[in-house]
Structure 1
Amino acid sequence: MYDQSILSELIRFARVDAGSTVIDVYPGDGDWTRLFSDVVGAKGRIYSFVPAEVADFKNDPVGRMRTLAKEPGRENVEAVSADLVAILQATEPADVLWLHLFYHDLHTALMQARGATAADFNRAVYERLKPGGFYVIVDHAAAAGAGTGDAQSLHRIDPASVREEVETAGFVLDAESTMLANNDDPHAIKVFDPSIKGQTDRFAYRFVKP
């Protein structure tokens, strides 16, 4: 995770406020689910959404989120799991949908194994967000011009490709941030390489549903 100042800035950037309904997609260890749970409070709602495409991983991502939802003070958290494009049926209309270091996975064989594509998912997100809702994406940057070609091999994606795909679904770019940029990242190595792990060049986009 990031230091506290970055965490606070990212939460502000995502427009998560008291009373918000937030969908945290592919929540991993649940760090963002917990942070958002604290911010939205008793009148808010957090859906910790585990894609069915990864639900059978050995670390039991669904079980972990169900355990998280039982922690004291987490009554506003609901752990849900469904195919990526079934997010419409698994959650209620939301103010914010949050994707942290995951968008590139929409272009991998694993996430497409059940037939979903990035275009399908973006359309589902558009339908699930309330008018004026925010679709927030933070991801590892690929080299300019790389498109989606490095998503499978390096776990990176060209920010320009993300913007094009999301805007095609009807969203409008509302803001972008360079707070996680790293100009020393060569963009040509896998994000798990020890020389760059945790320090990759990352972009942050906030799109709005008109």
Structure 2
Amino acid sequence: MRHPMLTTASMLAVLALAGCDNAPRETEQATDTSNQKIITLGEAQNHPARSTSNKLRDEFRNPVETLQFFGIEPDMTVVEIWPGSGWYTEILAPYLQAQGQLYAAHFPASDTRSYYAKSRQDFAERLSNDPYFSDVILTEFAPLADSDIAPPASADMVLTFRNLHNWYMAHGEEGVEGAFSDFYEALKPGGVLGVVDHRLPEDRPDEDMASTGYMKESWVIEQAEQAGFVLDASSDVNANPDDTADHPRGVWTLPPTLRLGEDNRDYYVGIGESDRFTLRFVKPETTNE
């Protein structure tokens, strides 16, 4: 069993851009006026909103421990970036429903590529039909589009799970810079950015980030700090020392994708899901803006 390990660091800098028309409930004024029960993260993990198949991945994604590390509270305004089919949304939406507010910044509505369009449509339909998702506000995000993920300086927390590598592979350093800029703009001073992604060993060439799906933790920290964030802490809650990050089809060689099919399947299943870094950044309370 893996146990969290924390480290701390700090630095300063600045960036900003974004906006949205939908105003959230202010967390300092939040009260349980909806007759919804305030629940714990443990109760959210076992909530009826969650599918059985998603629960099976808790062993690798450690959702309660990860969200506890980020410092989430039930009265927060939270932005989830690229929620996909809603794996984390199934936990976040019930947890925040009574007192908080969840923004789901999905793929842009203008994206007509079949995977992206269908994913957003399916998610939007669930927001309309699932009572546990009824209070979620659907916005959108693209790393170079000045995205309106939430009103400026409104969010207590922005969360992104295993997404940075997609933006880097598609747009390079500029894509990651654009993402961090949008996140910085949406957060309140003192707000938290939580980042999880597949970890590339530090002794590997930077060029490997362009094709493997793995990212260097030090590089991600540097990019976030250049955007104005301060690294508050890191955790090994999602670490997997059995993952060597040198597989034939990159991170997609491992579960759940298993891109090699039956070729060495038992071996890759035995490794489990990828080794991941988990980072907590903070937007400074005061800046030089």
Equivalence for 2:168: 107
One-letter amino acid matched to 1:57: S
Paired with 2:200 and 2:61, the residues of 1 have a C-alpha distance of 25
Q: Secondary structure at the match of 2:157?
A: strand
Which amino acid is the alignment partner of residue 276 of structure 2? R
Q: Are 1:56 and 2:110 an aligned pair?
A: no
Of the three residues 79, 91, 113, the one matched with 1:35 is 91
Q: How far is 1:75 from its partner?
A: 2.4
Larger Rg: 2
Measure the CA separation in 2 of the matches of 1:67 and 1:105. 25
Question: Partners in 2 of 1:44 and 1:160 — Cα distance?
Answer: 33
Q: Does 1:80 align with 2:136?
A: no
Structure with greater strand percent: 1
Larger RCO (CA under 8 A, 6+ residues apart): 2
TM-score, normalised to structure 2, is 0.65
Structure 1 gap segments, 5+ residues each: none
Measured in 2, the distance between the counterparts of 1:128 and 1:206 equals 16
Matched residues in 2 for 1:4 and 1:119: separation?
Answer: 28
- Using the alignment, how far apart are the partners of 1:108 and 1:4 within structure 2? 24
Which amino acid in 2 is paired with 1:201?
D
Moved more, 45-54 or 61-70: 45-54
Corresponding residue pairs, total: 207
Query: Which SS does the other structure have where 2:132 is aligned?
Result: coil
Instruction: Measure the CA separation in 1 of the matches of 2:205 and 2:220.
Output: 8
Structure 2 unaligned regions, length at least 5: 1-56, 259-267, 285-289
Contact residue 190 and residue 282 of structure 2 kept, 8 A = yes
Query: Taking structure 1 as the reference length, what is the TM-score of the superposition?
Result: 0.87
CA contact (8 A) 2:146 2:178 kept: no
Residue 70 (structure 2) aligned to one of 14, 24, 28:
14
Q: Percent identity?
A: 27
Q: How does 1:89-100 map to 2 (within 5 A)?
A: 89-92=148-151, 93-100=154-161
